[in-house]
Structure 1
């Protein structure tokens, strides 16, 4: 087998086992634990995208309020 396929099987075997063990400890199904991780990933990515848009809005608003001067003689 190639190294890539062996690496894939290693991560599948040990990565999915983490969700199963966590689900056993919490008394849940493993699919629910995996869905929780997927949802929390989208929430955290969306949160930072919202912060980015807010900062971009503030910078744009600052530029609109403070007019840029094109030369020294515009004082």
Structure 2
């Protein structure tokens, strides 16, 4: 019984961490690395508040409160 309660507690902690989302700078770096690996050049990635129109949304971070937007130069 104690093991079951401990497992449930750990799962709840892990779920809370996942719901928090990735830090924006970390996700932005991952997206940039993928674009660079595909040979894409002449672009910018910008972190904005969710809902601010600025280009194509390519990621969401910080629990969905911010978005990463891709624009061509």
The answer to whether the superposition gives a TM-score over 0.5 is: no
Q: In proportion to residue count, which structure has more strand?
A: 2
The structure with the largest helix share of the pair is 1
TM-score by length of 2: 0.39
